[in-house]
């Protein structure tokens, strides 16, 4: 398990840079954490490091957003919070996205746990008492 600390919004890009340097060969990232802990904010920082010029927002209603990185590769950003049934994830073809070889950033992965691929990284965000965020990474 690896741990990163986000000290503030001013240093989040440094953490995102270090994170991507460590895990540049990984493609599927499942982000866990309480509502408001900063999952989307950290994903925005990761997307900035990937040189995505599009506006990055949580796909709360569309379930998935596709962005293009600075190298022209697709980056898929999922938000399964509003999913009511696992069949909705099947119907949208989420497994095809996960198997695409492109970067997949998944919020609320616990809603589709049985569809998550092996080899992914589980990323746990937690707010510490001093207001910093702890980011723990476990290879699955």
Over 90: is that where the pLDDT of 68 sits? yes
Over 90: is that where the pLDDT of 60 sits? no
Q: Tell me, what's the pLDDT at 21?
A: 96
The answer to whether 52 touches 69, Cβ cutoff 8 Å, is: yes
Q: How long a stretch of residues is the chain?
A: 140
**Buried/exposed 77-97: b ≥16 CB within 10 Å, e otherwise:** bbbbbebeeeeebeebebeeb
Q: What is the pTM of this model?
A: 0.95
Q: Tell me, what's the pLDDT at 118?
A: 94
Of residues 136, 68, 79, the one with CA closest to residue 102: 68
Count CA atoms closer than 13 A to 76's CA, side-chain side. 23
What does pLDDT average to over the chain?
95
**Can you list the domains of the chain with their CATH numbers?**
26-125 (3.40.50.300)
């Amino acid at each position: 398990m690896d741990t990163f600390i986000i000290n503030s919004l001013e240093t989040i890009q440094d953490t995102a840079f270090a994170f991507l340097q460590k895990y540049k060969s990984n493609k599927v990232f499942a982000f866990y954490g309480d509502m408001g802990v900063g999952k989307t904010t950290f994903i925005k920082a990761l997307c900035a490091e990937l040189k995505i010029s599009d506006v990055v927002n949580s796909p709360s209603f569309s379930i998935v957003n596709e962005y293009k990185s600075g190298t022209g590769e697709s980056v898929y950003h999922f938000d399964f919070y509003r999913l009511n049934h696992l069949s909705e994830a099947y119907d949208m073809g989420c497994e095809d996205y996960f198997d695409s070889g492109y970067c997949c950033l998944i919020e609320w992965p616990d809603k589709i746990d049985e569809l998550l691929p092996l080899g992914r990284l589980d990323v746990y965000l937690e707010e510490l008492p001093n207001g910093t965020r702890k980011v723990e990474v476990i290879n699955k």
